[in-house]
Amino acid sequence: MRRTLPLVSLAALLAPLPVAAEDFGVMVDRMRAEQSAALFGFAAPLAASAPETAEDFRTPDQTAGAQVLLAEGLTATYLTREIANKADMMSLFPAEEPTHLIVCIEGDREEIAAGKLNPSLQSVALDSGAVKTLVRGMQGCDGIRATPWGTILATEEEDDGGAYEIFDPLALENVVISDRATGEASDPRVVRRMALPTMAWEGLTITPEGVVIGGDELRPGTANADADGGAIFKFVPDTAATGGPVTDPAASPFAAGMTYAMQVSCRDNKMQAGQGCEIGNAGWIAIDPLIARADADAKGATGYYRPEDLHADPAYAGEGIRFCWANTGNEDAGNFAEVLCATDLTPMDIPVVDAEGKIAFTTEVNRFVEGDREANSFDNLAFQPGTGLLYVVEDHPNGDIWACLPDGADRDIKSDGCARMLSVADTSAEPTGFMFSDDGAMAWVNIQHSDDGQMPMVDDYATDDLLIITGFKPTGQ
C-alpha cells in the first residue's frame, strides 16, 4: 500500500531553524560581568588566570604592573619591595588614622646569621614604604589584628602556635622571643597570651569587648584516617574592654578568660553532632586552651577542612556578630574550598548547659561561597568597607582574588556571584594579606614567596613585594 506523506507548506520549509537559547548560567555570568562597574566597582573582571611563568620571574627592574593581571580600571604600584619573604596577613595601625601596616612574616623560626633570627613581625610606613623589623623568633606568624584598645594581636600558624599581644608596636625594634613555649621575650611589651588557644592560628576577629574568634588551620585525617579537621574557637575575657587604650599588660582583656570550641548540631531541639553536621545550629563547649586541638576533638567540636582567614562582617547590623571564614579544601581532590558564615547572637555570654548536658544554640552556620574548578583553595578574606563585597584570595600558583557579592533578596542565602579581580603573574608566588583602606578605594596585597634568584637580600633575608591596588570605586551597596 502506498504511504501518503503529509503536506508541508513552502513557508515552513524555508523558515530558519530555531536558535538554541543561551545557557542560563552562562547568561547570568555574562550579565554580571557586563554590570561589573555597578556591582563591583571596577570596569570589567578578568576572564582567566595568568599563564604559567618560568623560574625567577621576579627581577629588580620589574614594574608593579608586571606582577599581577588586574580587572579593567585598576592599577598596581609598589609600597615596598623589601618586606621579608613570606609576608602574609597585615593590619593597619593605629586603627584610627593609620600610619603603618603591621605585617606577619610566615617564615619558620631559624637563625639566618650569627645570633640573628628571621623577622616575624614588621612595620611598613604608608607614606614611604620604609620597613622595620619589630619582632623575631616566632614560628610562622600569620593571623594578625589591631585590638580595639590599641595593641596588636599576632599569632602563629603552627601546631603549637601561640598568640602574642604587642604593646606600643611601632616603638619596638628587633625584640627577640627566646622561648616560644613560655613567651619569654627581650621586651615586656611582647606578651604571649596563654588564655587564648594554642593551635595553628590563621584568621581571627576581635570584638570591642575582647572576644576573639579564630580557626585552627588543620586538615581532616591528619592524625589518622578519621581525625576531625580544625575547629572554630572563641575566647571570652573575664573582664571586658570598656573603651580607651590599654598600656598595662595586666589590664588587657586577654589576660584571663575562657576558651570554647564550636559544636554544630543537626537537630533543632537537641544536640546531635558529628560528621555531616557542618552547618546549622551551633553552641560552644568549654575547652582547655593549652591543649585546644585535642580537647576540642575529644569533646566533639565540629571540624572543618583547614579553616584559614576569618573576619567579622562590618555590614552586619543584627544582634551579636556575623563572621565568615575560608575552608581551603584541596582542589586536586575536587574539594574546591568554601566560605562559611556564622551569626553568634551572644558572643560575650558564657554558654548555658542544662541539666541534660545540652549546650545553648546561640550560633547559626551556613555556606556563603562554594568553590569550583576556577575559584578554589580559598585562603585570605577581606570585606570591602561600605559595599558588602567579600574578597576571596586563592592559595595556589598564579592565585586569583575574587570579588563576591553579598546575598540579595533572592531565595537563597549565598553570595549572588563572584568576579575575578586579580591574578598573580608569577607562578612561584601567591597573593596574601589582601586588605582595604578604610574608605574601600585602595587595597594592599603581598606577592608571597616568589623565586628570588635575581633579587638581593635585605637584612640577611629574602624579600617579597607589597603592592598597592588603586582604582576601586566603592559601589555603596
Q: What is the pLDDT of residues 58-69, one digit of tens each?
A: 999 999 999 999
Q: Which residue has the higher pLDDT, 376 or 274?
A: 376
Q: Which residue has the higher pLDDT, 50 or 474?
A: 50
pLDDT in the model for residue 275: 86
60 alpha carbon, distance to own chain's centre: 29
Q: Which residue has the higher pLDDT, 179 or 14?
A: 179
Alpha-carbon distance values, 318 to 26, 271, 342, 358 (Å): 35, 25, 12, 26
| C-alpha span between 474 and 477 (Å, rounded) | 8
pLDDT in the model for residue 445: 98
What's the rounded mean pLDDT across residues 145-157? 98
Q: How many CA atoms lie within 13 A of 142 on its CB side?
A: 27
How high is the mean pLDDT of the chain?
93
Is residue 5's pLDDT more than 60? no
DSSP state of 108: P
- SS3 string, 311-363, reads EECCCCCCCCEEEEEEECCEHHHCECCEEEEEEECCCCCCCCECCCCCECCCE
Is residue 315's pLDDT more than 50? yes
Q: Are 67 and 425 in contact (CB under 8 A)?
A: yes
Q: Which residue has the higher pLDDT, 9 or 397?
A: 397
Among 165, 164, 190, 192, residue whose Cα is nearest residue 176: 190
Among 287, 412, 264, 271, residue whose Cα is nearest residue 343: 264
- In percent, the amount of the chain with pLDDT more than 90 equals 87
Those residues with Cβ within 8 angstroms of residue 312's Cβ, 6 or more apart along the chain or in another chain: 205, 207, 321, 322, 323
Is residue 384's pLDDT more than 50? yes
Phi, then psi, of 417 in degrees rounded to 5: 125, 160
What's the rounded mean pLDDT across residues 82-98? 97
Residue 84: its H or E element:
strand 75-84
Which residue type, as a one-letter code, is found at position 193? Answer: R
pLDDT confidence of 15, banded at 50, 70, 90? Answer: low
pLDDT in the model for residue 225: 85
Out of 45-49, 273-277, 423-427, which region has the weakest mean confidence (pLDDT)?
A: 273-277
Phi, then psi, of 142 in degrees rounded to 5: -140, -75
Out of 151-155, 220-224, 229-233, which region has the weakest mean confidence (pLDDT)?
A: 220-224
| C-alpha span between 356 and 210 (Å, rounded) | 30
What's the rounded mean pLDDT across residues 436-444? 97
DSSP state of 425: S
Is the pTM above the cut of 0.85?
A: yes
| C-alpha span between 8 and 226 (Å, rounded) | 67
pLDDT in the model for residue 466: 98
pLDDT in the model for residue 339: 98
Among 217, 270, 269, 206, residue whose Cα is nearest residue 241: 206
pLDDT confidence of 354, banded at 50, 70, 90? Answer: low
Take residue 382 and report the three cell numbers written for it: 577581606
3-state secondary structure of 40: helix
Those residues with Cβ within 8 angstroms of residue 260's Cβ, 6 or more apart along the chain or in another chain: 233, 234, 235, 236, 284, 285, 286, 287, 351
Burial class (CB in 10 A: 0-12, 13-18, 19+), 442: middle
